[in-house]
Amino acid sequence: MGELFDKLANYGNSGIYPFHMPGHKRQKTVDFNPYKIDITEIEGFDNLHHAEGVLLEAQKKAEKLYGSEESHFLINGSTAGILSAVSACAKKTVLIARNCHKAVYHAALIRNLDVYYVYPEIQEEFMLNGGINPADVERSLEEHPEIEAVVITSPTYDGIVSDVKRIAEIAHAHKKPLIVDEAHGAHFGFSKYFPENSVHLGADIVIHSLHKTLPSYTQTALIHINGKLVDRQKVRMFLQMYQTSSPSYILMAGIDECIRYVEEQGTDAFDKFAERLDRIYKRAKEFRSIHLVDESIVGKNSIYDFDRSKLIFSVKKCGIAGNELQKMLLRTYNIEMEMAAGNYVLALTSLCDTDQGFHRLFYAVKGIDEQINRFQTTESKKEGNWIEDGVTRNTIICTMNKAFESQKESVALQESEGRISGEFLYLYPPGIPMIVPGEKIDGALLKKLEGYKKKGFQFQGLRDYGGEKIEVVK
């Protein structure tokens, strides 16, 4: 077989446990030859971009499952849904939560939109981006009536849920649609253990990544449309533009199977999932230095709810950075985590995770916690408080599109203070830009970037893969 195939096969047999997406966790096995069901739009199998038959019926099942008025399959991931939603709802001006995924920014760049930001509050104890304060959304809409749509991310990568219902009410009072990137909440609404999904909370467009938290293939997602504030035909047209004209029937069948699974087996599966999560949260109280963030953060910093399937292991008081814990878990315990930030490590769990998987994770973190307590002093633990993981607040000089299309020059990143960025810069994951085209680079940002770099984090988005230079407007 090809080199990549062999590498994947070897990894699949390596014994490394995946506390990362996709949500099937490689636990679901299907005994079929994928080549036998890999077809094009032949007779009897419909067309995703003009669904009238089997695909239309499959999408109606998604509508019924999530309670939406209209749902569409996404086989280019939530990214395609986000690009389509923003493109359809805003012609000139949009209000964006500053902790949105890079896809939201890409939509603003492509459509040459003027952008206003609403900032999440900062949860300082664990250095997390908190929720979006509804009052901030209302203030922005009152001060800038030209805003055409509101875009927020809820839950965040870290499971932070904003008050979507109240934000939707505010947006609707101003006759503006609310777009919710709920990519990390495709499992919401199926169990009282988890928050409600935003379709039921009044959002006009909701995007779900099935592959993140449910048993579905990578790239599979859904977009839901509700209410009368959205031009639905426009959304459909943009979906045709941003998605491939040759959608994979394997991926679409995967979406259909995922929906069937949740419909038929979801109740029992979610109950068992909740029991597994409860056990690890209770046992994590044994940790002395590492802290497993729990629902106690709710009610402060505009955090309306918390997705307990996101296991956030905080090392803020441990004297190490998040990526150091991530490496220990992989190299010593054969556990691959979803992401590392400056102050924490994130495990993405799903209803396909096993008892054995949770057992391995608990004892691995417990072993590292004991090691930290044994060898590090109180003073050395304090050295971990070195970086702020929250969103950055930069001065906007011009639109992203204008900066992106301007003549640019490459300068050393640490010598770029005062210049206007011509490109994006972010850690991936989570893919939240720390600087976007058109924003001024200041000393505070450079200091933050230097802190990440010293701890071995790598930047993405820059033309210079080494992270030493940045493109700035001439």
Q: Are residues 219 and 358 in the same domain?
A: no
Query: 215 lies in a domain?
Result: yes
Q: Are residues 76 and 223 in the same domain?
A: yes
Query: 143 lies in a domain?
Result: yes
Q: Which amino acid is at 108?
A: A
Work out whether strand 408-412 and strand 469-473 pair parallel, antiparallel, or are unpaired: antiparallel
Task: Tell me how far apart the alpha carbons of residues 427 and 179 are, in angstroms, rounded to a whole number.
Answer: 24
- Are residues 204 and 227 in contact, defined by beta-carbon separation less than 8 angstroms? yes
Q: Are residues 82 and 143 in the same domain?
A: yes
Task: Tell me how far apart the alpha carbons of residues 359 and 350 are, in angstroms, rounded to a whole number.
Answer: 15
Residues of the chain with pLDDT under 50: none
50's CB contacts (< 8 A; 6+ apart) are: none
Q: What is residue 68's DSSP assignment?
A: -
Task: Tell me how far apart the alpha carbons of residues 77 and 80 are, in angstroms, rounded to a whole number.
Answer: 6
pLDDT of residue 27: 86
Query: 394 lies in a domain?
Result: no
Q: Which of 382, 410, 435 is where one domain is finished? A: 382
Q: Are residues 368 and 293 in the same domain?
A: yes
Instruction: Please say whether the dihedral angle defined by the alpha carbons of residues 173, 174, 177 and 179, taken in this order, is positive or negative.
Output: negative
Dihedral pair phi/psi, residue 199, rounded to 5°: -60, -40
Q: Kindly report the CATH number assigned to the domain that includes residue 460.
A: 3.90.105.10
Q: Which of 328, 351, 382 is where one domain is finished? A: 382
pLDDT of residue 389: 82
Q: Measuring CA to CA, how many Å separate 51 from each of 43, 45, 55, 284?
A: 13, 9, 6, 48
- Are residues 309 and 293 in contact, defined by beta-carbon separation less than 8 angstroms? no
If DSSP codes are grouped into helix, strand and coil, which group holds residue 291?
A: strand
Instruction: Please say whether the dihedral angle defined by the alpha carbons of residues 331, 334, 336 and 341, taken in this order, is positive or negative.
Output: negative
- The DSSP bridge partners found for residue 337 are 19
Tokens representing 85 are 């939603």
pLDDT of residue 29: 64
Query: 199 lies in a domain?
Result: yes
Query: 7 lies in a domain?
Result: no
Domains contained in the chain, number: 3
Closest CA to 240 of 76, 60, 66, 40: 76
Query: 16 lies in a domain?
Result: no
Task: Tell me how far apart the alpha carbons of residues 236 and 471 are, in angstroms, rounded to a whole number.
Answer: 35
Tokens representing 377 are 């002093």
Q: Are residues 108 and 81 in the same domain?
A: yes
Q: Sort residue 67 into left (φ over 0), alpha (ψ -120 to 50) or beta.
A: left
- Residue 152's CB: how many other CB atoms inside 10 A? 28
Closest CA to 273 of 310, 240, 304, 238: 310
Q: Are residues 254 and 276 in the same domain?
A: no
If DSSP codes are grouped into helix, strand and coil, which group holds residue 177?
A: coil
Q: Are residues 348 and 327 in the same domain?
A: yes
Query: 21 lies in a domain?
Result: no
Dihedral pair phi/psi, residue 179, rounded to 5°: -105, 125
Residue 139, domain extent? 34-258
How does DSSP assign 325-336, residue by residue?
A: HHHHHHHHH-EE
Q: Kindly report the CATH number assigned to the domain that includes residue 163.
A: 3.40.640.10
Q: Which of 382, 410, 441 is where one domain is finished? A: 382
Work out whether strand 205-208 and strand 310-314 pair parallel, antiparallel, or are unpaired: unpaired
pLDDT of residue 249: 98
Angle between helices 249-283 and 355-375 (to 10 degrees): 50
Q: Are residues 226 and 345 in the same domain?
A: no
Displacement of CA 71 from its chain's centroid (Å): 20
pLDDT digits (tens, 9 = 90+) for 229-250: 999 999 999 999 999 999 999 9
Q: Are residues 170 and 85 in the same domain?
A: yes
Query: 447 lies in a domain?
Result: yes
Residue with tokens 């973190």: 365
Task: Tell me how far apart the alpha carbons of residues 326 and 291 are, in angstroms, rounded to a whole number.
Answer: 14
Task: Tell me how far apart the alpha carbons of residues 131 and 60 are, in angstroms, rounded to a whole number.
Answer: 32
Task: Tell me how far apart the alpha carbons of residues 194 and 427 are, in angstroms, rounded to a whole number.
Answer: 28
Work out whether strand 310-314 and strand 305-306 pair parallel, antiparallel, or are unpaired: unpaired
Q: Are residues 308 and 365 in the same domain?
A: yes
Task: Tell me how far apart the alpha carbons of residues 427 and 417 are, in angstroms, rounded to a whole number.
Answer: 20
pLDDT of residue 32: 81
Work out whether strand 128-129 and strand 408-412 pair parallel, antiparallel, or are unpaired: unpaired
- Residue 12's CB: how many other CB atoms inside 10 A? 11
If DSSP codes are grouped into helix, strand and coil, which group holds residue 431?
A: coil
Stated as kind and residue range, the H or E segment containing 310 is: strand 310-314
Q: Are residues 226 and 152 in the same domain?
A: yes
Q: Kindly report the CATH number assigned to the domain that includes residue 302.
A: 3.90.1150.150
pLDDT of residue 307: 99
Q: Are residues 206 and 276 in the same domain?
A: no
